[in-house]
Amino acid sequence: KRRNPGETEFHQAVYEVAMNVYDYIQDKEKYHQWQILRRIAEPDRIIIFRVCWEDDNGNIRVNRGYRVQNNNSIGPYKGGIRFHPSVNLSILKFLAFEQTFKNSLTGLPMGGGKGGSDFNPKGKSDNEVMRFCQAFMSELYRHIGEDTDVPAGDIGVGAREIGYMFGQYKRLKNSFVGVLTGKGMEFGGSPIRTEATGYGTVYFMQDMLAHQKNAIEGKTCLVSGSGNVATYATEKLTQLGGKVVTLSDSTGFIYDKEGIDKDKLAFIVDLKGRRRGRIEEAAKEFGCEFHAGKRPWSVPCDLAFPCATQNEISTKEAHTLIENGCQGVSEGANMPTEQEGIHAFTAAKILFAPSKAANAGGVAVSGLEMSQNSARITWKEAELQQLLRDIMQGIHDQCLQYGKSKDSDYVDYVKGANIAGFTKVADAMIAYGVL
Ligand code: NDP
């Protein structure tokens, strides 16, 4: 805390990993000797830059851009770019730190990074977004590369923004390489990248339930958010026989007792994705409840999928979920549960999948997009669907290996993911010596 004053989200993420890893390495001298934990918690490099662009009225605007390159021990830095007014160094450092462990869990050769800007895409015209993306890439391009650092999308950065940034990179470098993932299919994108995070989050829940000889079918589910992760989690849950009764955005949540089926979801994807509207309009269209300024966690459910943003399940809300009979939580968003909330879930022994395991499907398919770009081929969708399924199962198995309790059937997936993610990166760092 002395070295990183005021970076509360970063402290939270490091503390949570350190708690588990410290216990694990107690009797493993090499990790102490090489100061691995301290070294992983110090990013390799942080780049901060001015992004200057012109709005539609000819005003000059100034934003701040960032790229946190946390650790490249097992592959090029890899992690998304976030455009949101709340973006600051603490948030990006926590995300880059988490990404390092998540990418390790996928089994693919990817290091950890994250970037973004405090630019707010809401209410901006298409041209303004394009000019901003071009200005952002005009500095970022010199710090990234297909073998160095490969950014992707995140909150506020979808196919449109990736297209503008990729175009600018290509123009500046005169080089067509896989320097970003989440690209359009016409210029090197991979099938199922868009669906992968949401689907993966649901697959992880499916595996946790299967381990207890249970299934998603017939379960009432809460999903928060209504962006990329939330909508594809909803689609997969519905396909597997679950009933999703909530979705949300930054203005509140909708509660539809009948369930948000395929047609309703299509309406929401158009509303939030294409028209960039507010979720309340969906409540009017479906004739269901809208709760302004609230989050969905007070609605009774069997399963919960936070898919919006960090710290969106408070400790109090975690207790409410438990009291209302929730049996499992799978984190689609990054670090959506407050620290004490996580402890409440594990103390109550409900299934709890931490984000670095549960939402790794997106970056896994990004890793597969990188492989396809390097080989200049596109794999078939069915092949990629199977690979995503296998990778999520592989992550579940690693969590079991390190998270199984000695004296009960309970699996601590937080501990399992932290230790499994750590060991691979740590062993690579030791192999390199003091760097
Ligand atoms: P999107 O921008 O597509 O959607 C974000 C959703 O969350 C929107 O509904 C947005 O509401 C809501 N939201 C954002 N910030 C807040 C906030 N401060 N309070 C309340 N609601 C908020 O992002 P994604 O779906 O891509 O990302 C969601 C989460 O998943 C993030 O934590 C991200 O880091 C994580 N993630 C995403 C991956 C991906 O592949 N996309 C991969 C791994 C993790 P509104 O429309 O009102 O802004």
What percent of the chain clears pLDDT 90, i.e. is strictly above it? 96
Q: Cα 55 to chain center, whole Å?
A: 30
332 lines ligand 1 (CB under 6 A): yes
Question: What ligand 1 atom has the least distance to the C-alpha of 248?
Answer: 9
Residue of minimum CA distance from atom 37 in ligand 1: 154
Over residues 311-327, mean pLDDT: 98
Q: Do the annotations mark residue 99 as ligand-binding? A: yes
197 lines ligand 1 (CB under 6 A): yes
Say how many C-beta atoms besides its own lie within 10 A of residue 409's C-beta. Answer: 9
Over residues 295-306, mean pLDDT: 98
- Active site (catalytic) residues: 114
Does residue 165 sit in helix, strand or coil? helix
pLDDT in tens, 219-275: 999 999 999 999 999 999 999 999 999 999 999 999 999 999 999 999 999 999 989
Domain presence at residue 396: no
What percent of the chain clears pLDDT 70, i.e. is strictly above it? 100
State the CATH number of the domain containing residue 65. 3.40.50.10860
Say how many C-beta atoms besides its own lie within 10 A of residue 223's C-beta. Answer: 31
Over residues 335-355, mean pLDDT: 97
Residue 254 near residue 286, CB atoms below 8 Å: yes
Does residue 130 sit in helix, strand or coil? helix
Give the per-residue pLDDT at 14: 97
**How remote is the CA of residue 408 from the centroid of ligand 1, in Å?**
36
Q: State the pairing for strand pair 77-83/149-152.
A: parallel
DSSP string, 250-316: TTEEEE-TT---HHHHHHHIIIIIIS---THHHHHHHT-EEEET--GGGS--SEEE--S-TT-B-HH
Domain presence at residue 107: yes
Give the per-residue pLDDT at 405: 86
pLDDT at residue 101 greater than cutoff 90: yes
Give the per-residue pLDDT at 407: 83
Question: What ligand 1 atom has the least distance to the C-alpha of 278?
Answer: 47
Helices (H), 303-354: 315-323, 339-347
pLDDT in tens, 9-64: 999 999 999 999 999 999 999 998 899 999 999 999 999 999 999 999 999 999 99
Tell me how many domains the chain contains: 2
Domain presence at residue 329: yes
Domain presence at residue 26: no
pLDDT at residue 302 greater than cutoff 90: yes
**Do 209 and 318 share a structural domain?**
yes
Collect all residues with Cβ–Cβ distance below 8 Å to 409 and sequence separation of at least 6: none
**How remote is the CA of residue 333 from the centroid of ligand 1, in Å?**
7
**Measured distance CA(12)–CA(339) in Å, rounded:** 7
Q: Do the annotations mark residue 424 as ligand-binding? A: no
Residue 361 near residue 388, CB atoms below 8 Å: yes
**Do 200 and 348 share a structural domain?**
yes
Give the per-residue pLDDT at 409: 87
Domain presence at residue 161: yes
**Do 200 and 173 share a structural domain?**
no
359 lines ligand 1 (CB under 6 A): yes
Domain presence at residue 261: yes
Question: What ligand 1 atom has the least distance to the C-alpha of 335?
Answer: 32
Residue range(s) defining the domain that contains residue 221? 195-353
Give the per-residue pLDDT at 257: 98
**Measured distance CA(285)–CA(288) in Å, rounded:** 8
pLDDT at residue 386 greater than cutoff 90: yes
When pLDDT is cut at 50, 70 and 90, the band that residue 340 belongs to is: very high
**How remote is the CA of residue 197 from the centroid of ligand 1, in Å?**
11
**Measured distance CA(162)–CA(166) in Å, rounded:** 6
**Do 165 and 48 share a structural domain?**
yes
Buried b or exposed e, range 276-301, using 16+ CB within 10 angstroms: eebbbbbbeebebebbeeebbbbbeb
Give the per-residue pLDDT at 408: 85
Give the per-residue pLDDT at 390: 98
**Do 345 and 202 share a structural domain?**
yes
State the CATH number of the domain containing residue 312. 3.40.50.720
**Do 316 and 229 share a structural domain?**
yes
Collect all residues with Cβ–Cβ distance below 8 Å to 431 and sequence separation of at least 6: none
Over residues 386-413, mean pLDDT: 95
Domain presence at residue 263: yes
Domain presence at residue 183: no
156 lines ligand 1 (CB under 6 A): yes
**How remote is the CA of residue 225 from the centroid of ligand 1, in Å?**
6
pLDDT at residue 435 greater than cutoff 90: no
Closest to 96 in 3D by CA, of 80, 84, 110: 80
Q: Do the annotations mark residue 366 as ligand-binding? A: yes
Please, what sign has the CA dihedral across residues 129, 130, 135, 137? positive
Residue of minimum CA distance from atom 10 in ligand 1: 249
Over residues 411-424, mean pLDDT: 97
